[in-house]
Structure formats: C-alpha cells, structure tokens
Amino acid sequence: MPEPTVNPIERKPFESAVTDVMQGASRWEVKVHDHGLVALVDVMPRLVANGQTADAAVVQAARVSYGQGTKKINEDRGLIRYLLRHRHTTPFEMIEFKFHVVMPIFIARQWIRHRTANVNEYSARYSVVPDRFYVPSADAVRKQSETNRQGGDAPVDAATAEDFLKYLDHCQTQYAEYERLLERGVSRELARIGLPVNVYTEWYWKCDLHNVLRFLSLRMDEHAQLEIRDYAYAMFALIQPIVPVTAEAFMDYDLGGEHLTRLEIEALRSKQPLASENKREQAEWETKKARMGL
Ligand SMILES: Cc1cc2nc3c(=O)[nH]c(=O)nc-3n(C[C@H](O)[C@H](O)[C@H](O)COP(=O)(O)OP(=O)(O)OC[C@H]3O[C@@H](n4cnc5c(N)ncnc54)[C@H](O)[C@@H]3O)c2cc1C
C-alpha cells in the first residue's frame, strides 16, 4: 500500500506592500448603553495590498467564478455592487469578522437566533456574574405600540418613566441576594437563575460578511427592538471602514431599499388600492408609500 505523499509547501510572498485593515490595532471598540460594547478584534483578510480594503477579498473570490467575464464589469466597485444587487452572496462569505460583545441577556437571546456565527459565551456556571444591569435612560422608556404588538413607540410620560426605573432598582436587591446565596455555598449555576434578563453577558461572535449583513439587515431595521438596533449600528460602524464598498452597497440595495410584493406592484401600476382585505398588509403598504414619498 503506497503512503500518501505531501509535497513541500511553497510560500509565495505578497506581490506588493501590504496594509493591516485594522491599522495595527488589536481592538476597535464602540461603547453601547450603560455597560455594553461591540469590539472588533480580528478580521480575515487582515492584510491587503496597499491602497486596497478588505473588499478586495470579495472581488478575488468572485473573479474565480466569473473569470474573464468580469472584464464586462470592469471595476471592483461595480462588481461588488452587482454581486450584492443580484444576491450572488458566496464571495461575501470570504471575509470574516470576530467581535467581542457585551450585552444584556435579553439582547443576547435575540442575537443568538442568528445561527450562522460561531459563539463562545461567558459561563455563569464557572464565574460569578458581574454586577451590571441594563437600565435605559428615561427618554428610552417607551409606550407599547398600538400598531405593532411586538414593538415600543413614543416615550412614556416622565412619571411613568420614573416608576419604571424604580421597578429596575430591584435588580440591585436581587444581586445582593445572589451574592449572599453564593456566600452560603449555593452553586453559581443555580444562584444565577434568580437574576433578571437585563443582566449583562458577553461573548466572542465570529461571522462571515454575508451573514453579518443578514444580521444587520434584520437588526438595523426599524422593526427590531431599539436596544439591539443600537448594537447593530455599532457593528456597522466598525465594519464600514474595513469594507467600505460593500457597506455602501448594503445601504443602497438592502437597508435603504424597499421590497415590494406583487400586490403592491399591481397597486402602483393600476393606481388602485391594494387588493388585500388584510389590515396589517394595508398598513404596511401605507408605510412603504409614505417612505417612498408616494
Ligand atoms: C423583528 C424581529 C422579530 C422577531 N420575532 C421573533 C419571535 O417573536 N419569535 C421567534 O422565535 N423569533 C423571532 N425572531 C427571530 C427570527 O425568526 C430569526 O430566527 C432571526 O431573525 C434569525 O434569522 P435567520 O434564521 O435568517 O438567521 P440565521 O440563523 O443566521 O440564518 C441565516 C440563513 O441560514 C439558514 N439556516 C441557518 N441555520 C439553518 C439550519 N439549521 N437549517 C436550515 N437553514 C438554516 C436560514 O434559513 C437563513 O436563510 C425575530 C426576528 C426579528 C428581526
């Protein structure tokens, strides 16, 4: 039986001088709320040819599939914008970002639903939960929306905001009880279960650009809860200088765009009301029309 052979490694030098896309920093950090943050801790590709951004990795991958065909789309920016418009997504998977995120558990629960990332979270079985609770500012205490059962709306009046913030004061009492029970010998894995969901957790979250954009599309959207939107905007601010061309295309074609249903296109074409009895669908159409200035 012949043995498998491994040929010698050929190491090819970079063809030109290179730049670190994070400009030599080990971490770029954006603070969020009272104790939260999103920090970019690594990127692939980390090194790019001088004068380029990490967008170059998208172009490099796309040219494998399109080859000479890319001559028709003769510049990198045009190619990236074409790929994003036409949902040719795999070239965007060639870029990866690793983030360190500190956020309250109620945000982490929404975040973890994005299954295409690699996650490693702080263990509250292994370590004591730090005394950090999310408390919104008074003007971020929102009324229940009347049109969106899942959403908040305008701020509540000052007295109600004060009442709400008093309700959150109980976190401190609960944390004191948590510490007391740890001292009495209760295991960390059990003592933690009495802590509220505004307590902070943290994790490392690694995700490719395609799925980061998917996350941002859903979580920068106005339908997402305000608190996770703040994190999504922080994440966008961190990746924008690394992949400026992709970020611009994302704003143009995804977040800043508008998806129309067949019924909506028909209503536009015929200048008739939307052919649907569904009140929610009609309200959504009105919102879209207003946004488009119609
Ligand atoms: C405004 C808003 C409100 C929401 N409300 C609720 C709610 O009330 N209740 C609730 O439970 N969730 C809710 N969610 C979560 C939502 O349903 C999604 O789970 C979340 O947004 C992640 O989206 P995703 O599945 O596209 O992302 P990802 O998990 O990142 O998936 C990306 C893509 O990969 C595919 N994929 C990933 N894993 C698999 C797999 N194992 N098998 C097949 N395909 C896979 C997905 O289908 C998707 O196309 C809400 C989300 C938003 C933005």
Global pTM value: 0.93
214 within ligand 1 shell (Cβ under 6 A): yes
Residue-range definition of the domain harbouring residue 156? 138-197
Catalytic residue among 81, 184, 219, 262: 219
Domain identity same for 161 and 40: no
User: What is the domain count for the chain?
Assistant: 3
Does some domain include residue 3?
A: no
Phi, psi (degrees; rounded to nearest 5) at 141: -85, 110
Q: Give the model's pLDDT for residue 85.
A: 97
CA distances for 285 relative to 113, 170, 211, 263, 294, angstroms: 28, 42, 28, 10, 11
Q: Is the pLDDT score of 119 beyond 80? A: yes
| Span 210-269, pLDDT tens digits | 999 999 999 999 999 999 999 999 999 999 999 999 999 999 999 999 999 999 999 999
Say if CB 80 and CB 195 are below 8 A apart.
Answer: no
Q: Determine the pLDDT at residue 252.
A: 98
Query: 90 and 29 share a domain?
Result: yes
> Which ligand 1 atom lies nearest to the CA of residue 116?
30
User: Which CATH number characterizes residue 234's domain?
Assistant: 3.30.1360.170
Query: What pLDDT does residue 69 have?
Result: 55
Residue 29 sits in the same domain as residue 116: yes
d(CA 168, CA 195): 12
Q: Calculate mean pLDDT across residues 153-171.
A: 92
The total number of residues shown for the chain amounts to 294
Selected residue with higher pLDDT from 225 and 143: 225
107 Cα: distance to centroid of ligand 1 (angstroms): 15
- Is residue 9 in a domain? no
Q: For 41-90, write each residue's pLDDT tens digit.
A: 999 999 999 999 999 999 999 988 766 555 544 589 999 999 999 999 99
In this prediction, residues 198-204 reach a mean pLDDT of 98
Tell me if 218 CB under 6 Å of ligand 1: yes
Average pLDDT score, the chain? 93
The number of beta carbons lying within 10 Å of the beta carbon of residue 58 is 28
149 annotated active-site: no
User: Is 234 found in the same domain as 99?
Assistant: yes
For residues 173 and 30, state if they share a domain: no
Q: Is residue 212 domain-shared with residue 242, that is, in the same domain? A: yes
Q: Note whether 34 and 178 are same-domain residues.
A: no
Of the chain, the percentage scoring pLDDT greater than 90 comes to 86
Is residue 152 pLDDT above 90, yes or no? no
Average pLDDT over residues 147-174: 88
Same domain (yes/no): 125, 145: no
Q: Per-residue pLDDT for 14 more than 90?
A: no
